[in-house]
Structure formats: structure tokens, C-alpha cells
């Protein structure tokens, strides 16, 4: 819609960067913590949030039965307090010369699980070329090549695992089948991105888990296979559902989290937004605070053709969370 005319050219050229020399500190520059985030005394143990709440992306007009699309204010406070506690733990560990210095550049190994009903394209059997194109899209988005801020992250595909199992197809968010699937298939440690592709339930384009201090078998990202570059999901087939869900996996909230009040998405350089934006509503402004709605941000709900950027504050928040939760 005229917002990023060179993006398709860049993607077609296969621009990618798997290791970025980005000098970002672990200080949460540009991050606005929730009011309770640093309220615990340094010696106090902060309990990890009890659930592995997932955040989703939903199609225009879609109504998900489980609505995993936004956290409550209480869940946000718990997550922000847990992040603060995890950072204190890491700092204490490093003070004892037990751990390596915080990372400023990260290459994330990616294991992709293709969940199929059968061997047909309609049954989930997408070609490898769509998966490699998705990795390229991630690398462009997270390197800043599409026009946003550069982040510390690059992505390297290490494995494609194809599984034909009608009991797991379609993938149903929050179901026992989803848990069985992930428990059976997940590979690697907290630093390994597991992506599950297939047909999804309830009009969802994808969902993801937030990072936790202890690895949970549910950890990972679920994405509608036809949302990958070249897929059949009209308006959502340039790979940015993957970009969006990986953002959650790296601890970003939606840009519309919390609406116009409170700490919002806990990032200071994303203007407040009252509700999700769909399609590409240029000039939309739903909050009285400064700035138009961030409809071009990867963490909104607009068409893939409309979104192209992370902000510097989001880049900093992701790296801070990586060093707190996922770094070795």
C-alpha cells in the first residue's frame, strides 16, 4: 500500500544476515517496565508465572475460541516482575564469574516441524522452498533490511522435520493434541527456535510462547503453513506471521497491549494503540498520547504488505530478554 515499496524486491533478492555486529547492552534502553517490575528486594525469589501463555495473530474478522491474543494486566505485571528477577539472577551469577558476558549478537538455530495430514499440498505438505524463504524473511526483518531498527538476531535453519499425523492436523491451540505434538517433537535448548507449521484452528494465523526461566516442552512458535512466502493465505502470505510470532517468542507484546493506558507494550518508542489495526489504515490514531498508531510495526495485526519494522526499543527489549532467559 505504498508504505514499503522496496520490500518485495529485497525479499526476492534473498537478503539475509545471520550474525549481526550490533552493540546493544543488556540495559533495557527504551523499555518501560510495569510498575511492579523492580519492586521485589534483590534477595527475594520471584515466582515464575504459572502458565505458558501464548500470544497469537488473528485474521481480519477472525474470532478465536481461545482468544490467545492479548495478556491481562495481571499477566503483564507477572511477566515484567519475572523478567526483572531473571535479570537479577543472571547478574548475580555473572558476578561469581560463573557465566559468559551478555551477548550482543545472536544466531538462533531453527528447527521446523511440518505437520501434515497426508502427502498433498492441501494436506499440509508445503515445499522446502517456502521454508527457506521464511528464514530469509526473518533475517531481513530482524536485521532491519526492511526499513526498521536492526536487532541482534539472525536465524539459521538447522532441520526440517516432516510428520504425517492426522491426529495433530489441524493444530488446535491449547489442545491435548498440541501438547502431545510439541512434547514428542521439540528439539534443542532454550536458545533453539522450534517452529510448527500446518493448518490451524479458529481462524488463527499463528501463536507463540513467551520465554521462561525453565524450558517448557510447549516452548516454540506455531504458524499457518500457507502464511509462509508464496502461500495461499491472501494478504498474509509474505512470511510476517512468522516474524510476528518470533517477536513474542523473544518477549515482545502486541503494540496494542494495554490499550491507551498504563505501560502498554512496555516499550517507550511504540506509540500507544487502543486496539489491533487490521488491513492498512494509514493515519489511524486511537489514543490521545503522541504518535499515530504503529500500524507498520511487526507486532500489530495489519496485512503483511503494511508491516515492515521493529523499533530500537523493541530490539533492546528482545536482547535484554534473551540474555535473561535464553542465553546459555
CATH code, domain with 225: 3.40.390.10
Q: End of a domain among 205, 224, 252? A: 252
Both 274 and 219 in one domain: the answer is no
Both 289 and 223 in one domain: the answer is no
Both 212 and 290 in one domain: the answer is no
Percent of the chain with pLDDT over 70: 75
Once rounded to an integer, what is the mean pLDDT over residues 317-322? 96
pLDDT value at 40 more than 50: no
Structural domain includes residue 177? yes
Q: Which of 78, 80, 226, 245 is catalytic?
A: 245
Both 142 and 248 in one domain: the answer is yes
Q: End of a domain among 215, 233, 252? A: 252
Quick check: is 70 catalytic?
Answer: no
pLDDT value at 41 more than 50: no
What confidence category does residue 89 fall into, taking pLDDT thresholds of 50, 70 and 90?
A: confident
pLDDT value at 44 more than 80: no
Residue of higher predicted confidence among 23 and 4:
4
Both 173 and 246 in one domain: the answer is yes
Tell me the pTM. Answer: 0.82
Return the pLDDT at 137. Answer: 98
Both 298 and 278 in one domain: the answer is yes
Average pLDDT, the chain: 82
Return the pLDDT at 157. Answer: 98
Return the pLDDT at 101. Answer: 58
pLDDT value at 287 more than 60: yes
Both 241 and 280 in one domain: the answer is no
Once rounded to an integer, what is the mean pLDDT over residues 121-133? 98
pLDDT value at 77 more than 60: yes
Domain ranges, residue 275? 255-309
Both 127 and 237 in one domain: the answer is yes
Per-residue pLDDT tens digits for 137-162: 999 999 999 999 999 999 999 999 99
Both 243 and 278 in one domain: the answer is no
Both 124 and 204 in one domain: the answer is yes
Domains held by the chain: number: 2
Return the pLDDT at 261. Answer: 86
Structural domain includes residue 211? yes
Once rounded to an integer, what is the mean pLDDT over residues 236-256? 97
Structural domain includes residue 33? no
3-class DSSP string for the chain = CCCCCCHHHHHHCCCCCCCCCCCCCCCCCCECCCCCCCCCCCCCCCCCCCCCCEEEEECCCCCCCCCCCCCCHHHHHHHHHHHHHHHHHHHHHHHCCCCCCCCCCEEEEEEEEEEECCCCCCCCCCCHHHHHHHHHHHHHHHHCCCCCCCCCEEEEEEEEEEEECHHHCCECCCCHHHHHHHHHHCCCCCCCEEEEEECECCCEEEEEECCCCCCCCCCCEEEEHHHCCCCCCCCCCCCHHHHHHHHHHCCCCCCCCCCCCCCCCCECCCCCCCCCCCCCCCCCCCCCCCCCCCCCECCCCCCCCCCCECCHHHHHHHHHHHHHHHCC
Amino acid at each position: 500500500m505504498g508504505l514499503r515499496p522496496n520490500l518485495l524486491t529485497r525479499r526476492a533478492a534473498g537478503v539475509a544476515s545471520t550474525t549481526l555486529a550490533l552493540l546493544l547492552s543488556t540495559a533495557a534502553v527504551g523499555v518501560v517496565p510495569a510498575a511492579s517490575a523492580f519492586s521485589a528486594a534483590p534477595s527475594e525469589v520471584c515466582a515464575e508465572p504459572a502458565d505458558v501463555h501464548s500470544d497469537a495473530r488473528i485474521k481480519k474478522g477472525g474470532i478465536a475460541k481461545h482468544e490467545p491474543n492479548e495478556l491481562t494486566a495481571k499477566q503483564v505485571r507477572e511477566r515484567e516482575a519475572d523478567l526483572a528477577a531473571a535479570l537479577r539472577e543472571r547478574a548475580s551469577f555473572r558476578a561469581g564469574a560463573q557465566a559468559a558476558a551478555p551477548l550482543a549478537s545472536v544466531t538462533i538455530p531453527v528447527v521446523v516441524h511440518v505437520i501434515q495430514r497426508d502427502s498433498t499440498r492441501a494436506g499440509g505438505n508445503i515445499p522446502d522452498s517456502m521454508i527457506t524463504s521464511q528464514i530469509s524473511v526473518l533475517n531481513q526483518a530482524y536485521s532491519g533490511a526492511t526499513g526498521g531498527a536492526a536487532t541482534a538476531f539472525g536465524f539459521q535453519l538447522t532441520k526440517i522435520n516432516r510428520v504425517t499425523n492426522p491426529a495433530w492436523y489441524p493444530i488446535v491451540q491449547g489442545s491435548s493434541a498440541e501438547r502431545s505434538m510439541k512434547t514428542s517433537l521439540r528439539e534443542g535448548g532454550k536458545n533453539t527456535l522450534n517452529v510448527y507449521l500446518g493448518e490451524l484452528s479458529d481462524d488463527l494465523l499463528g501463536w507463540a510462547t513467551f520465554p521462561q526461566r525453565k524450558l517448557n516442552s510447549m516452548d516454540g512458535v506455531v504458524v499457518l503453513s500457507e502464511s509462509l512466502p508464496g502461500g495461499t493465505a491472501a494478504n498474509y502470505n509474505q512470511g510476517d506471521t512468522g516474524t510476528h510470532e518470533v517477536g513474542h517468542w523473544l518477549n515482545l507484546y502486541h503494540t496494542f497491549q494495554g490499550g491507551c493506558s498504563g505501560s502498554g507494550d512496555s516499550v517507550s518508542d511504540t506509540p500507544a494503540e487502543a486496539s489491533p489495526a487490521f488491513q492498512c489504515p494509514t493515519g489511524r490514531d486511537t489514543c490521545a498520547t503522541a504518535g499515530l498508531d504503529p500500524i507498520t510495526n511487526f507486532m500489530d495485526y495489519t496485512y503483511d504488505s503494511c508491516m515492515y519494522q521493529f523499533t530500537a526499543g523493541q530490539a533492546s527489549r528482545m536482547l535484554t530478554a534473551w540474555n535473561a532467559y535464553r542465553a546459555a
